Every structure is written in C-alpha cells, then in structure tokens.
Amino acid sequence: DRSIKIAPSILAADFANFGAECAAIEGQGADWVHVDVMDGHFVPNISFGAATCAAIRPHIRGVMDVHLMISPVDAYLEGFVEAGADVLTAHLEAGPHVHRTLQAIRGAGVRAGLALNPGTPAEAVEMLLDEVDLICVMTVNPGFGGQKFIRSQIAKVRRLREMIGDRPIHIEIDGGVDPVTAPLVTEAGADVLVAGSAVFKHGTVDNPEGYGRAIREI
C-alpha cells in the first residue's frame, strides 16, 4: 500500500557517509529520512545534534523527519528548525510543558510530532490532538537501534487511530519494524514506518540495491 511511508533511520547507516547514505535510500524508494537525535540524558546514548542535521539536509531531497530524544527540548528547537527539519518530534515524557513545545514547533512553520514511550498510554495525548501533525509510537524503549518490537503497542496504535478520528494526523511507528511486524501496525492504523536495521543491514552506500529490496518488503 503506497499510502504507507517508509522512513529509514540513519542511526543504522554509516556515520562517516551520511550524505551518501541519504541519497542512497532516497534513490532506493525511501519516502522520508528519519534522523535520531540522542542526548545521553533523556536516553542512555548519544548520537548527534543540529549541526549534523544541517550538514545532511542538502543531501535529502524529500522530508527530513527529526526525532528528538532530548531533555530539555525548547532551548534547542530553533537549531533544528534552522537545520531544515520538515517534521520535528519531541517526547511527551521529556518535560512538563510539551504543549508549549508543540506550539513552538508549529509556530516556526514546521510540522509537529509527539513521541510516546512504550509505558505511556494513548490517553495521554487527548489534550494535544489539535496541536500535532504526527504521533510517533515507540515500539522499543528509545536509545538504540536493533531492539525487539514490543507487541503491546499494537493496541495503542488502534486506540490512537480511533481517538484521532478525521484529523489529518500521521501515526508513525519507531522500533523493531520489519516485514513481520509492519503489517501488524499498518492494520492497526499506522501510516509511517521507521526502519533502521531492517533496511541498512541489507546493503552499503556502494551497493544500495539491498536497501531497495528491504524497503519494498516492509
């Protein structure tokens, strides 16, 4: 179903070749490029920040989907807006004022995403539905690629799709997406699938056809 978007996560790419990796996955049919920012505080891992996002931006023709696993968030938003993010996603659990964060993202002219950790129920977004363009359901605990998909989140996706009703909100799935788990979440109402290891383990920048096969199989 081509209304489902595939967003490979460059967390699983060659960090010394981000520009070429972005071009390779887009050339192989990726719809969005998912960019995981980790601060070593909100999550127990450090990836990279706004300067890296700005550096890879010219190598992405389509949507740069930036997932902020950072706390605090607000003081850093401007840097990611300047870096050229098309979607900026903050975690509900990252601070007491996520409503303000979402308003600030939209106020900067960027699509606002809200990510939920596996322990956060669907109902937590009820008062935020009119402030978001995307809800990211984490199907692993954030911090690392290559973890096992948490099946209890499927029911949460179904509940969120009901709560969203006819609002134009994407449901994105992040963590453990592969050809086995993808149909479980699209059937429940998800329409954007992040995939890190399931794409990048099948190719290299110099030999990217495997990326394309993996993207088509999800």
Query: Under DSSP, is residue 190 helix (H, G, I), strand (E, B) or coil?
Result: coil
Please indicate whether residue 174 is annotated as part of the active site.
Answer: yes
Q: Quickly tell me which residue has 């290299």 as its tokens.
A: 204
Q: What is the dihedral of CA 78, 50, 43, 211, to 10 degrees?
A: 130
- Under the criterion CB under 6 A, does residue 113 sit at the interface with ligand DX5? no
Which range in 72-80, 95-103, 138-146, 204-212 contacts ligand DX5 by CB under 6 A?
A: 138-146
Backbone φ, ψ for residue 173 (5° rounding): -110, 130
* Binding partner of residue 89 among Zn ion, ligand DX5, none, CB cut-off 5 to 8 Å per kind: none
Site string for Zn ion, 20-39 (x = CB under 5 A): ----------------x---
- Applying CB under 6 A, among 116, 157, 195, 215 the residue interacting with ligand DX5 is 195
Identify which of 52, 3, 43, 67 has the alpha carbon closest to the alpha carbon of residue 196: 67
Query: In whole angstroms, what is the distance from residue 178 CA to residue 169 CA?
Result: 23
> In 10 A of CB 58, how many CB atoms?
10
With a CB cutoff of 8 Å and minimum separation 6, the contacts of 128 are 92, 98, 99, 102, 114
175 binds ligand DX5 (CB under 6 A): yes
Among residue numbers 129 through 158, which ones bind Zn ion (CB under 5 A)? none
Catalytic entry in 39, 65, 133, 174: 174
User: Is the separation of the CB atoms in 176 and 152 below 8 Å?
Assistant: no
Smallest separation, CB 91 to Zn ion (Å) = 10
Site string for ligand DX5, 2-21 (x = CB under 6 A): -------x-xx---------
CA–CA separation, 120 vs 3, rounded Å? 27
Residue 41 assigned to a binding site: no
Per annotation, catalytic residue among 36, 39, 65, 133: 36
Q: Are 145 and 117 in contact (CB under 8 A)?
A: no
Q: Which residue is nearest to ligand DX5 (CB)?
A: 196
Q: Name the residues that contact Zn ion, by CB under 5 A.
A: 36, 67, 174
- Report the binding-site residues for substrate: 9, 67, 143-146, 174-176, 196-197
Q: Name the residues that contact ligand DX5, by CB under 6 A.
A: 9, 11-12, 34, 36, 67, 140, 142-143, 145-147, 174-177, 194-198
Catalytic residues: 36, 174
